[in-house]
Amino acid sequence: MNIKVYSKEGKELRTMDLNDSVFGLPVNDDLIWYAINNELANKRQGSANTKGRAEINGSNAKPYKQKGTGRARRGDKKSPILVGGGTIFGPKPKDYSYSIPKKAKRAALKTILSLKAQSDTLKIIEDFSIESGKTKDLVKLLDNFEPGLRTVLILKDDDPMVKRAAANIPWLKYLSYNRLEAHELFYGRQVIMLETAAKNLNDFYADTAGADKAQEAGK
């Protein structure tokens, strides 16, 4: 697959070849759903906590005698039927995280990259860095590529100055090529990828492509 490479000013420079085993795969909706839900589950804090009847501070004495008052019989003030009492079957701290096979996660990321490439929402630009680390300099550069859209910037490495400049842009999310996130990548309205990052992805995700195809052929 050939794709255009743009300059920082948004002008077309050349074309580059992308690996079809990474950027040219058919879209697998089930696999994408599987990977995104796994990421969201792993991010859940699971810290919701309520107090049951035994955990509420208060007296254990009955508020009035059992018989002879004409009122309903009940226990202490910590009863769940009273305001301020314990909670019945309330949430407790829970770990929602779980793991999925590495091959499934890799395959999901590759099919999302293929989706973005095939829908023309993937733009590859020449490598750049923000020497000043200032947000306004990065915004000025991104103004050449449909600013304001929910954008994912894929970096070739952990560039601290680009990350510093991108931290205050609400519609921008940055990812390194070797630590992609299915959720951010899928919901990005446009994906801007540095040229070196695209070359690295060709190699990083293509190592198991042959095995994946062989497995699909055997089904």
Residue 212 reports pLDDT greater than 60? no
Q: Is 80 domain-assigned? A: no
**In this structure, what CATH number is given to the domain that contains residue 157?**
3.40.1370.10
Q: Is 76 domain-assigned? A: no
pLDDT in tens, 22-81: 998 999 999 999 999 999 999 999 999 999 999 999 888 888 898 999 998 888 889 998
Region 184-189: what's the mean pLDDT? 94
Query: Integer distance in angstroms from the first to the last C-alpha of the chain?
Result: 26
Q: Is 116 domain-assigned? A: yes
Q: Is 94 domain-assigned? A: no
Q: Is 49 domain-assigned? A: no
Residue 174 reports pLDDT greater than 50? yes
Q: What is the pLDDT of residue 204?
A: 86
Q: Is 45 domain-assigned? A: no
Q: Is 13 domain-assigned? A: yes
Residue 209 reports pLDDT greater than 80? no
- Alpha-carbon distances, residue 169 vs 1, 59, 70, 153 (angstroms): 32, 53, 66, 12
Residue 202 reports pLDDT greater than 50? yes
Domain membership of residue 209 as a residue range: 2-29+100-218
Region 174-198: what's the mean pLDDT? 93
How far apart are the C-alpha atoms of 97 and 46, rounded to whole Å?
9
- Alpha-carbon distances, residue 178 vs 36, 155, 157 (angstroms): 17, 9, 8
Q: What is the pLDDT of residue 75?
A: 86
Local confidence band at 175 (pLDDT 50, 70, 90 cut-offs): very high
Q: What is the pLDDT of residue 146?
A: 86
Q: What is the pLDDT of residue 63?
A: 86
Structurally, the chain folds into a number of domains equal to 1
pLDDT in tens, 77-133: 899 988 889 999 999 999 999 999 999 999 999 999 999 999 989 999 999 989 898
Taking Cα atoms as reference points, which of 194, 189, 126, 134 lies closest to residue 163? 134
Neighbours of 58 (CB within 10 A): 14
Taking Cα atoms as reference points, which of 18, 13, 80 lies closest to residue 52? 80
